[in-house]
Amino acid sequence: MFGNPYYAEKISDALENIQLPESPKNLYDPIHYILSLSGKRIRPQLVFMGASLFGYDNLEDVLPASIAIEYFHNFSLMHDDIMDKAPLRRGKQTVHQKWNDSVAILSGDALLVKSYEELSKCPAQAVPELLKTFNRVALEVCEGQQHDMDFELRNDVSESEYINMIRLKTSVLLGGALEMGAIIAGVDALERKKLYDFGVNLGIAFQLQDDILDTFGDPETFGKQVGGDIIVNKKTILHIMLKKALNSDDLVEFENILSLNESEGIAKVERMKNLYTKYEIFEQANALKGEYSSKSLDSLSAINVSSENKQDLIILSNNLLNRSK
C-alpha cells in the first residue's frame, strides 16, 4: 500500500462520483475511462499529507485541490501517451488508441479546465497562492516533457540535464501537491519550501528507482517487461552513466547493442546488462538515488512539526524507494 488508505479511499470515492455531462460522449467518456484506470493515487494523497503534516484536518477543504492534482496528472498522461505513441496505460488501452488522437487531445484539455474548476472550490483565502503554485508546477511539467522529447534526438545528454528533466517532468508535481496542502493549512512560505524540497527530491529518487528497476528488477514482481528501456534505447540514468564511463573498445560494443532492433530484445538486454555489470552502473545509480533520498529526508527533518506528524510521509518515502514494482 502506498500512502494513507483513508485518503486513497476518499479520493477514489470522489472520482467515482464525479458529475460530468452526458453529451458529447466523445468528450466526457474518455475522462471517465482514464480516471477509472486506478493508479497509486500518490499525487492527490500528497495534498492531504501536506495539510495534515501541520495538523490541518478539515478534509473537505483539502479534497478539491487533491482532485485538481489528479485531474492535471491524468491530463498530462493523455497528452504524453499521444506524443509517445503508447498503446497501453496501466495495462489498458490508452485513450488515443481506444478513441483517436483528436479525442484524447480535447478530453485532456477538458480535464485541465476541470482542474481549475476544482481549485475554485478551495477556501477563498488560499486560492491565490494555490493558483500561483499550481500554474508554476504545471508549466514546469510541460518543460520537462519537452526536454524529454528533445533528448530523443540527442546523443550527448549529461547526467545533470537528465536529473533536471526528471525534476521537471515528474518531481515538481509531487512537491507542488505537498505545498498546496500546506497552503490550505495556512503555513508560512519557509516551511512550505522545506516541504516542497522534500517532495521534489523524493520524486527524483523515485524516478531513479524506476530506471534501476526497469533493468535490474525481478521479472516476477516488476509487473512489466524487464529491460524495456534498453530495448527502445531510452536514455535513462543507467544509459547516461554507462556511456560516460566506457573505454573505446566497449564504446564500439555499446553502439552495436544500440543498433540491434526490438526483435533481438533478449540478446540486446543481456549484452547491455553485461556492460552495466562491468562498469558497476547499478551501484552508481543506486548511490545517486540514495543521495536524493537523503536530501529529501533532510528537508523533512528540518520542518518544525512533531515526528509523529511526519510518519505518513516517512512511510510513503520508504515504500516508494524500496518497492519492487
Average of per-residue pLDDT values in the chain: 94
Distance CA 117, CA 205 (A): 32
Cβ-contact 40, 2 below 8 angstroms: yes
Is the Cα torsion angle 51, 53, 54, 55 positive or negative in sign?
positive
Q: Within 10 Å of residue 7's Cβ, how many Cβ atoms?
A: 22
Q: What is the pLDDT of residues 55-76, one digit of tens each?
A: 999 999 999 999 999 999 999 9
pLDDT in tens, 171-229: 999 999 999 999 999 999 999 999 999 999 999 999 999 999 999 987 766 556 679 89
Residue 29 cell numbers, joined? 467518456
Domain ranges in the chain?
A: 206-325
- What percentage of the chain reaches a pLDDT higher than 90? 88
- Confidence (pTM): 0.95
Among 3.40.50.12780, 1.10.10.10, 3.30.70.3400, 1.10.600.10, what is the CATH number of 206-325? 1.10.600.10
Q: What are phi and psi of 122, to 5 degrees?
A: -75, 165
> What average pLDDT does this structure show over 248-274?
95
Q: Report pLDDT for 221.
A: 65
